[in-house]
Amino acid sequence: MNINVSEFMDHLKENNLLIVSRSDYENGENVANAKLLKKQKSLLNKPAVTPYEMVKYKLTHYNSITGIKASQLFKPGEMYHNSKGKLMVVTSAVKRIRTNKHL
């Protein structure tokens, strides 16, 4: 099988693709993971978080806001609407779920 290098390079450019070494790729993943962990720690120090934050920053096993709203894992009072009408979840509940789900 012959590959035309010029076509291959054009394909990479057209699709905004890069070729990187495995170590560079893994270093990028490590940086991203460190940033995520830092954000998670910051959020878990707040009194409450939004379902959006729970999903976006992977605070629990839930991958959708709908799943959080429908969950039976929350006890009465652990979800509430703040003064602006935004749904909030107390972080003690998030921490409990993280512990129970080994996250």
Predicted confidence at residue 27, as pLDDT, reads 77
Q: Enter the DSSP assignment of 70.
A: H
Q: Are strands 79-81 and 87-90 parallel, antiparallel or unpaired?
A: antiparallel
Higher-scoring residue by pLDDT: 24, 69: 69
Enter the pTM of the model. 0.70
Provide the number of structural domains found in the chain.
Answer: 1
Residue 46 belongs to what domain range?
5-100
Burial tier of 56 (Cβ tally within 10 Å: 0-12, 13-18, 19+): middle
Predicted confidence at residue 45, as pLDDT, reads 97
28-54 pLDDT, tens per residue? Answer: 778 888 899 999 999 999 999 999 999
Predicted confidence at residue 55, as pLDDT, reads 96
Give me the sheet containing 48-49, strands edge to edge.
48-49, 87-90, 79-81
